[in-house]
Amino acid sequence: MSRAPSRVVIDCDPGIDDAIALMLAYASPELDVAGVTTVAGNVGLDQVVDNALRVCDLIGPPAAATPVLRGYAGPLARALRQPDEPVHGAYGLGGVELPAPSRAAHPGHAVDWTAGQIRAAAPGEFTLIATAPLTNVAALLHGHPDTRERLKEIVVMGGAAFAPGNTTPAAEFNFHADPEAARYVTESGVPLRIVGLDVTREALTPLADAEALIADGAPVTAAAGRMLSHLIDRYARRHTVRACAVHDALAVAAAVRPDLLEWTDAWVTVECAGEFTRGALVADVHGRTGHAPNARVASGVDAEAFRGFLMSRLRDRYGAARLAA
Ligand code: RIB
Ligand code: CA
């Protein structure tokens, strides 16, 4: 007897890996995506919203009808920091041009809409999957505190508990972009799983997979392959490896197949004041702070199993063979 799908809201900043994460979420019958909320991050909010709408159109039903909502255009406690360079290309999708959105964003603010969804559902029904700076999520938990105990869990792509950052030596992009929000979420007491650079960098998607998706030739697989190729080109220039981390897709995979990862209980917080450590995820795995654990931190990943999971889900749901069947 299969379990009922988990109802989720995905808070994102597409962004190539956010786009792949959305594709994976809609290719996973274990998830029921009730809404896609957006926040500034990889690109500015207007572009993020436009990209989210275009990707949902590309995915098709039910994504094309899923409410997409505008969230915050930047952190609440400090100035917005745009990436120093367009990692995801000028418009955020690796130069892959998708048709203009077929619809506008759903009216209302992402945070208020999400709060309403959570209140209307049974306690423990909703999971948040956050693949962007945590401004919206922190605003939800702060402005609608009753949602904290109604949420099943929050799965976050962010941080680097035991590995170097990717934005500063100490900090990963999502946590660096809004460290106050990240700290608020980590210390909120809501059940939390953190999928950080410690594991996303170990589960790379090779060029061969991107090329196979392009060769498949269906609209979604080809677009996914071209987006991934953009990231791989950048990785190849910086890291001499012809592969890329699809950070946000691993967070979605963690919500569907937590067995793909190893988890370590820890008390976590985020540094907000350090001159060189702003946004750093601090994970106390040995109880040195005296605090009880407040998160499960992904500390290992079955890279080949994730690779196979991602590729098979994308092909089975969107591939040319599926469309021809
Ligand atoms: O550090 C990786 C994270 O920052 C991912 O969510 C990526 O999309 C960017 O937002
Ligand atoms: Ca992201």
Rounded Cα–Cα distance for residues 161 and 198 (Å): 7
Position 238 scores a pLDDT of 86
Q: Is 247 a catalytic residue?
A: yes
> What whole-number distance in Å separates Cα of residue 112 and Cα of residue 117?
9
Which residue's structure tokens are 């190729």? 229
CA 228 to CA 244: how far, in whole Å? Answer: 7
For ligand 1, say whether the CB of 271 is within 6 Å of any of its atoms. Answer: no
Index of the ligand 1 atom closest to the CA of residue 18:
8
Environment of ion ligand 2 (residues, CB < 5 A): 13, 15, 18, 131-132, 248
Residue 28 tokens read as: 């996973």
Q: By three-state DSSP, how is residue 281 classified?
A: strand
Burial class (CB in 10 A: 0-12, 13-18, 19+), 193: buried
Confidence (pLDDT) at 1: 52
How buried is 191 (Cβ within 10 angstroms: 0-12 exposed, 13-18 middle, 19+ buried)? middle
Q: Are 192 and 292 in contact (CB under 8 A)?
A: no
Distance in angstroms (rounded) separating the CA atoms of residues 171 and 53: 29
Q: Is 51 in the pocket of ligand 1 (CB under 6 A)?
A: no
* Helices 45-59/16-26 angle, 10° precision: 30
| Superfamily holding 6-324 | Ribonucleoside hydrolase-like (3.90.245.10)
Mutate to test the pocket of ligand 1, among 16, 17, 88 (most ligand atoms within 8 A of CB): 17
Q: Active-site residue among 88, 176, 230, 247?
A: 247
What angle (nearest 5°) sits at the alpha carbon of residue 32, between those of residues 15 and 244? 30
Query: In this predicted structure, what is the pLDDT of residue 2?
Result: 65
298 bridge partner residues: 263
Q: CA–CA separation, 155 vs 147, rounded Å?
A: 15
Q: With beta carbons less than 8 A apart as the criterion, state whether 14 and 51 touch.
A: yes
The 3-state DSSP class for residue 282 equals: strand
Pocket flag, ligand 1, residue 178 (CB < 6 Å):
no
Tens-digit pLDDT profile for residues 170-186? 999 999 999 999 999 99
Gap from CA of 160 to ligand 2 centroid (Å) = 15
Ligand 1 centre and the CA of 42: distance in Å?
7
pLDDT in tens, 185-220: 999 999 999 999 999 999 999 999 999 999 999 999
Amino acid at 320: A
Cα–Cα distance, 75 to 232 (Å, whole number): 29
Continuous H helices in 36-88:
45-59
Segment-wise mean pLDDT, segments of 10 residues, the chain, 325 residues: 86 98 98 98 97 98 97 89 78 95 98 98 97 98 98 98 96 97 98 98 98 98 98 90 97 98 98 96 97 98 98 97 88
Is residue 138 within 8 Å of 185, Cβ to Cβ? yes
